[in-house]
Chains A and B, each alone.
Chain A
């Protein structure tokens, strides 16, 4: 029984390890780090608010380089900065990020 449990744990570890390699850094990675320290901060939540403002300003053609920089300075997580860069370069966010952002703002709704 102990051997079976050990194998399952090993399998789960490898699955988790390789999934991060396959899918790259995304929200999932942030969550992983997060769960290991057992408490959460509001940093990613705050970043979503910043990103939603970015999308709203972009949709209304109000984005200027200095405003863009002012918004970027407010981002607190590497996840937020990566999504921000993707949006700034007109690259579609990863599907899981897109789904999350839609929860915050209709500006992300495709």
Chain B
């Protein structure tokens, strides 16, 4: 068979039925039922549904106790962004791929898109909003990211900063290589890695001294 004939035969072979079978085999066509949240901040959402019932819980966020209604499958990123107004925590993928939503839980960096809110009830949650001191005085890590002009678009910056804060807590004198390793879970599509690493190294200096 010539190449052209082969192609035509292939085209003929793909009936609509076969097509649909293949799509199903490839794993559940295209569903929009992912990346979902049931939110009640508008005050208009029904409190009970197939998604479950909201429960009032207490969270320790940025040193304050916050009381908030959450459903059992609610992620920390959603609670922070849509219930507590802490929109500095960014959602880039909502699937633990990008690290834009990194927050600290008891000083350990976590992807808040992949942590259920009710699991952090007795723990200390720190977000980008919790770093600056009184009067908006920048945390040394934030100051370093400013001085080294770390950000470009800035969408991944809160996550990069949270990972840096965690790194410097457990290792105040990282090498550049250790810093790269520690931040490697934080993607930056602008590719600002060199400048972020400069920021981390300067932050370590500021923290020491």
Does B bind A? no
